[in-house]
Amino acid sequence: MFAHGIDAARFTPQPPTSASPGPGRMISGGGDIAFRSLLVPSYLPGAMPQIRDRGRVHGLQSEVPAVKRREHGPEGALADRAGSVPGRGACSNPEARFESVRHSAEDDGWTRADAGTPELHTVVSTEQARSIITRNRSPDLSFAQSINPYRGCEHGCIYCYARATHAYLGFSAGLDFESRLVAKENAVPVLREELSHPGYRCAVIALGTNTDPYQPVERRRRITRELLELLEECNHPCMIVTKSALVERDVDLLVRMAARRLVKVFVSVTTLDRVLARCMEPRAAAPQRRLAALATLAAAGVPTGVLVAPLIPALNDAELERILEAAHEAGCREAGYGLLRLPHEVRDLFEEWLLRHYPLKAAHVLGLLRQARGGRDDDARFGLRMRGEGVLAALIEHRFEGACRRLGLERRDADLDTGSFRPPGAGGQLPLW
């Protein structure tokens, strides 16, 4: 089981190892600082005993020994002087907003030269989900139902609004979000039960609205694949949103479903700049690979679309037209876009990332975002949270609409068949009529 907290009265730190400067210390690349805390950095081998779980998350089980792996600190305990953990998006791992423990930094003379940056491995735990379909009434969305097979996302996109949801598990929105994943291993039987309910009314189900259904862990877990097989069996329409080329693996299923107007696939492309993409979305497919996946699906007859989201003023917004043109050449016929959102912890994580990687642009980017959000860092109001307001937001929408008209791209719309749905029968069998 994963550990969510620690009882200070029962905690005894282990002796320091050769890789550790001592109990309670964490090295930060943001400055010569260390952290005085009851928590010893568990990314240093042997630095932390196993801790019992408090059982705050229903049915959560880990595949690895339960050790405390959260590296706290306002400047990022694992960040090197370049400002990043190798292969990860976030620069730090701040406490979840619901946690009662906070940590303060104090200069004790330690520097990054005193300890190398260790590799941060991904840990996948399993969850027994009580329900699988999430419903919404948002006027900003083209779907009312969604499924997310995984919590957390290894793609590590620094801007991801879903980072804030990791706090509900007691995990950080920073490095925890991209390295401590939860797989809903019973997703298929729970979905079968929900689709069989006498009161269920068929409506398009979106896969990947919070975390990517084709993130790297899906290659082995295959939960998304099995969900699609059940939806195909029931003639249930769905819409997929991803930035992974792994979607090509399921082209056989998607082609069959597309022939019955049961599926659309949208691929998110935020930039064509490989350097920016590698820094901003470290474990997602390269931009050109995403376009190739779109071309493969379109050539096979699967309806495809592109999402240019999020648009970040002064960072990737200048690429809007070029991305739409490249997607159109790949066979896309629908498109959508969205302005960057910075809810809760995501604001501080994104600002930290900007200051580390684009320090000369940081103030300008954040200033433009606030202009488009009515002076706020984030605006959750319906009708404004996706598009923003003001001159900048209106200009982006005007550019998007003009490019779509010129290219013949339609606005995103889930016009799929909901009338052919057949609920699964008892024991997984379909009814005879």
pLDDT for 69-92, tens place per residue? 333 333 333 333 344 666 676 766
**Average pLDDT of the residues of the chain:** 79
d(CA 292, CA 363): 35
Which of these, 312, 318, 394, 384, lies nearest to 350 by C-alpha position?
312
Residue 100 or residue 340, greater confidence:
340
pLDDT reported for residue 109: 44
Domain 123-411: assigned CATH number = 3.20.20.70
Kindly write down the DSSP assignment for every residue of 235-278, as one continuous string: T--EEEEES-GGGGGGHHHHHHHHHTT-EEEEEE---S-HHHHH
- Please list the residue range(s) of the chain that carry CATH number 3.20.20.70: 123-411
pTM, two decimal places: 0.73
In angstroms, the first-to-last Cα distance of the chain is: 45
Q: Which of the 8 DSSP states describes residue 367?
A: H
pLDDT, tens digit, 9 for 90 and up, residues 332-355: 999 999 999 999 899 999 999 999
